[in-house]
């Protein structure tokens, strides 16, 4: 679509309807202006006449903490913070990306997709995506993209996966006739992080960003995870999802993150299996003395968390389908307690006096106990970073003021679940 037509289209009723679904009614005008400014910035830089719009959300993990890497179950949702891109094919072998948010501009030659020695940063991530497309049998080509994002960085809402899925949507739309599914997106994103970042990530982040809405995922067969959309509107329960950033830890947490899947798999290894999804809780308890000696006590506790967390995901999905919202919240609390006590990912032993997550959880639990309403838990990988609180709307402002007084202003974010994952905005507009 021509630039001038795109700017005009963004003010149409169809656009406003889609913007309402993506961001909520109160944020429509601000996002129309956001998109229009991005289109103008793209044209100023690239002087292209025809452009296409894309959007990819961040994600929230509601339950299923550290289960995906052992082929378990999760409950997750896409959020109303997103990565937005304006893009156009350039009929060359070059990919030129400008990130307005991070003040980056770089060009990648499709004939040279080898990773750098450091295996880090945005360029390596994009190279990994492009190589992942090629190795998976999909087409790639040159394009220009101007991108902005309000997905909070380093806050457990998957800003990197949001960016990855945006680029997958661009490549799928421009060069693969839209034939790719979200599972393909997720595997390519995982490949990029695993091979070009040496990061042992699973599929959760990418799947939740790509699919959209509230979803449950069973990773028992990771090559083809079972995804089910849950038709549930949190706003109908007058509750809001709050993400609280407790501050980035100063310790290197790579070893802490890696220890979780490694230790769970060590328990499975005792039984000659690869992951915990291939064994049962009864088997572990029935051979407890031997398993403790073989794998260690923390490994056993983490495996027990895995089994119980899978059950909680099932119970939460059932509660939502049956309209038992209070039971759902009780399971959120139970999930948080298990992560804190069994999984043990709320602080790092290498810097045990630095416990931003546990302090935030303690304060939030005190608040909830006083009100007798709500739930909270660690969010995402843990050890440092963010927590999640689910609170009645009438308590949100009071809670935000309370927690920000303790942890600093601007650290609490009110979010909502959006029904769309990584999309070509223009295509969804046409389908409405």
Instruction: Please give the structure tokens belonging to residue 109.
Output: 């030659």
- 423 CB-side CA count, 13 A: 21
> How far, in Å, CA of 3 to CA of 36, rounded?
9
Contacts (Cβ under 8 Å, ≥6 apart) of 246: 356, 357, 359, 360, 384, 385, 386, 387, 407, 411
The alpha carbon of 200 is separated from its chain's Cα centroid by a whole number of angstroms, namely 15
Q: Tell me the per-residue pLDDT of 87-135, one tens digit each, with 9 for 90 and over.
A: 999 999 999 999 999 899 999 999 999 999 999 999 999 999 999 999 9
pLDDT at residue number 370? 98
Kind of pairing between the strands at 375-379 and 412-415: unpaired
C-alpha separations of 35 from 7, 104, 106, 169, 303 in Å: 8, 19, 22, 17, 45
pLDDT at residue number 155? 63
pLDDT at residue number 154? 63
> How far, in Å, CA of 367 to CA of 42, rounded?
46
pLDDT at residue number 253? 84
> Radius of gyration over alpha carbons of the chain, in Å?
22
> How far, in Å, CA of 98 to CA of 90, rounded?
14
Q: Tell me the per-residue pLDDT of 231-262, one tens digit each, with 9 for 90 and over.
A: 887 778 899 899 999 987 767 888 898 899 99
What is the 3-state secondary structure of the chain? CEHHHHHHHCCCHHHHHHHHHHHCHHHHHHHHHHHHHHHHHHHHHHCCCECEEEEEEEEEEEECCCCHHHCCEEEEEEEEEEEEEEEEECCCCEEEEEECCCCEEEEEECCCCCCCCCCCHHHHHHHHHHHHHHHCCCCCCCEEEEEEECCCCCCCCCHHHHHHHHHHHHHHHHHCCCCCCHHHHHHHHHHHHHHHCCCCCCCHHHHHHHHCCEEEEECCCCCCCEEEECCCCHHHHCEEEEEEECCCCCCCCHHHHHHHHHHHHHHHHHCCCCCHHHCCHHHHHHCHHHHHHHHCHHHHHHHHHHHHHHHHHHHHHHHHHCCCHHHHHHHHHHHHHHHHHHHCCCCCHHHCCCCHHHHHHHHHHHHHHHHCCCEEEEECCCCCCEEEEEEEHHHHHHHHHHHHHHHCCCCEEEECECCCCCEEHHHHHHHC
> How far, in Å, CA of 329 to CA of 338, rounded?
14
> How far, in Å, CA of 257 to CA of 284, rounded?
23
End-to-end CA distance of the chain: 17
Predicted TM-score (pTM) of the model is 0.87
Question: Could you list the pLDDT tens digit for every one of the 432 residues in the chain?
Answer: 899 999 999 999 999 999 999 998 999 999 999 999 999 999 999 987 899 999 999 998 899 999 999 999 999 999 999 999 999 999 999 999 999 998 999 999 999 999 999 999 999 999 999 999 999 999 999 999 999 999 977 666 788 999 999 999 999 999 999 999 998 999 999 999 999 998 877 788 899 999 999 999 999 998 888 999 998 877 788 998 999 999 877 678 888 988 999 999 999 999 999 999 999 999 999 999 999 999 999 999 999 999 999 999 999 999 999 999 999 999 999 999 999 999 999 999 988 999 999 999 999 999 999 999 999 999 988 898 889 999 999 999 999 999 999 999 989 988 888 999 999 999 999 887
Query: What are the structural domains of the chain?
Result: 3-232+418-431 (3.30.230.10), 234-415 (3.30.70.890)
pLDDT at residue number 117? 94
């Amino acid at each position: 679509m021509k630039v001038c037509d795109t700017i005009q289209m963004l003010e149409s009723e169809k656009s406003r309807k889609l913007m309402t679904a993506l961001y909520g009614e109160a944020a429509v005008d601000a996002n129309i202006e956001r998109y229009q400014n991005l289109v103008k910035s793209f044209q100023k830089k690239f002087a292209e006449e025809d452009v296409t719009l894309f959007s990819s959300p961040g994600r929230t993990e509601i339950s299923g903490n550290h289960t995906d890497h052992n082929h378990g179950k999760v409950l997750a949702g896409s959020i109303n913070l997103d990565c937005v891109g304006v893009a156009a094919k350039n009929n060359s072998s070059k990919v030129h990306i400008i990130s307005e948010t991070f003040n980056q501009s770089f060009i990648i030659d499709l004939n040279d997709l080898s990773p750098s020695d450091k295996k880090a940063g945005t360029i390596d991530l994009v190279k990994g995506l492009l190589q992942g497309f090629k190795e998976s049998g999909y087409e790639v080509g040159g394009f220009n993209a101007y991108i902005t994002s309000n997905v909070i960085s380093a806050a457990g809402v998957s800003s990197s996966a949001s960016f990855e899925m945006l680029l997958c949507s661009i490549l799928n739309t421009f060069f693969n006739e839209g034939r790719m599914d979200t599972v393909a997106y997720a595997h390519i994103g995982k490949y990029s992080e695993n091979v070009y970042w040496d990061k042992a990530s699973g599929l959760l982040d990418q799947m939740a960003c790509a699919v959209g809405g509230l979803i449950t995922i069973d990773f028992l067969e990771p090559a083809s995870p079972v995804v089910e959309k849950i038709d549930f509107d949190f706003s109908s329960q007058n509750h809001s999802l709050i993400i609280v950033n407790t501050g980035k830890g100063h310790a290197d947490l790579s070893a802490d993150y890696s220890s979780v899947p490694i230790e769970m798999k060590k328990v499975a290894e005792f039984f000659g299996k690869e992951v915990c999804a291939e064994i049962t809780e009864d088997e572990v308890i029935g051979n407890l003395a031997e398993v403790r000696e073989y794998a260690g006590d923390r490994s056993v506790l983490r495996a027990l968390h895995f089994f119980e967390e899978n059950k909680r995901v099932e119970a939460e999905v059932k509660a939502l389908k049956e309209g038992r919202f209070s039971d759902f919240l009780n399971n959120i609390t139970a999930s948080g307690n298990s992560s804190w006590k069994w999984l043990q990912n709320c602080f790092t032993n290498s810097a045990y006096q630095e416990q931003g997550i546990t302090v935030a959880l303690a304060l939030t639990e005190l608040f909830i106990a006083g009100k007798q309403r709500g739930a909270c838990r660690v969010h995402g990988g843990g050890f440092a970073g963010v927590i999640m609180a689910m609170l009645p709307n009438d308590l949100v402002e009071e809670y935000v003021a309370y927690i920000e007084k303790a942890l600093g202003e601007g650290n609490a974010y009110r979010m909502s679940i959006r029904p769309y994952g990584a999309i070509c905005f223009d295509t969804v507009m046409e389908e409405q």
